[in-house]
Amino acid sequence: MRDYQATLRPASYRGVRFYVENEGQAGGRRLQVHEFPGRDAPVVEDLGRKAGRFTVRAYVASDDFEGEIEALFSACNQMGPGALVLPALGALTVHCLDISTTAERGRRGYASFDLAFVEEGAGSAPYALGLGGRLAVGLADGIAGIVGPALDAVMGIVGPALDVAGWVEEASRLTMIDALAGIDVARLAAGLPADLSASVSAALGDAVDGLGSVAGMVGFGATAAGAIRLFAGDEASDLTLSALEALAEPAAATVLPARATRSRQTEARQADAIRAAVSVAAYAEACAGAAARTYASRREAVAWRTRYAELGGRVVEAVAAALDEDSYAAANQVRGTLAQHLSRTVATLAPIVRVTANESLPATVWAWQLYRDPARAAELAAFNDVPHAAFMPTVFEAPSR
């Protein structure tokens, strides 16, 4: 039987936490119904999809409930879209439409809220094809500067010490070591040259040695992102991108028992934040590599766009739950920039045609008939995974130009 409780996420808007009594979602189509005298049948004009709307009945309950009310009102009154995380619906980018609160005399320390949100629209301006790839690379370079401070804030680093219990500090140190080990696994899977692989391994070893003190734990997010950037390089191979994708796959959020202590909650939150920081750094580097990659066909570019959009959705959701709003916005921007870049790339690539023949012919024959260029025979053979270019199948696919 499914454990529904384990799948629920902590609720927040712009990083401000609250509890949820119920959540709702509304959509549909924007229809204009025209009715005319003397006619029984109306004319229905479809104007497109309605903007997605979300309603939340929320509450806070604590000794500092006045401060929590003020924080949530401040978040909702900010201009522009923000990150909304709901227990069932997950991470969303929305604008806050309305917020109202009610405090009851008989329920001290408790306040309820009625919240209404609308999905973010298409607010980004179009850009040139080449600029899209450069934007993805630039955003990946900037991830460390955003995620590093966000992780330090979650860790509660105060001066030379962590503002947590001693065992929580040690548990977080072990989680960081485990995260560096995961980066090392990705390094081994990336097929790097021996000298570069040795350099990365040494850098990871130094990072592990530095975790012996709190000073070495400061900026771990930037340290991890720097190590990932080092072995990813400027032009990552498909093997390297595959390793980065595996590293970017978010781990499941820590599930705590109902009566978990405050220290246990802190340890779980820090562990989730460490893993999310590594995940988003790896995803950003993978997106930079995917943006710089050359695509042979529309089919290939669409497949990569779909794969990275789905992976990015999981990464963005993990970041929204574990780090701050700036990290969420950065991850979402990386995902959106790559998707737009690949969509524009798709439009420039040749459509795929299906070729049918009565007999098997060499790829050179087909390359001449299709493109007047026999040098493209190897491309045709590779496109169809043909063992030998001299024997093309009787039915195969090829770029139209």
Residue 23 is predicted with a pLDDT of: 94
pLDDT in tens, 214-224: 777 878 888 88
Predicted pLDDT of residue 3:
67
Could you tell me the fold of the domain covering 4-34+44-119? Elongation Factor Tu (Ef-tu); domain 3 (2.40.30)
Phi, psi of 332 (to 5 degrees): -65, -35
Instruction: List the chain residues with pLDDT less than 50.
Output: 124-129, 131-132, 158-161
Q: What's the pLDDT score for residue 246?
A: 93
Domain ranges in the chain? 4-34+44-119, 129-348, 352-399
- Give residue 96's pLDDT: 93
Q: What is the pTM of this model?
A: 0.67
In tens, the pLDDT along 45-57 reads 888 889 999 999 9
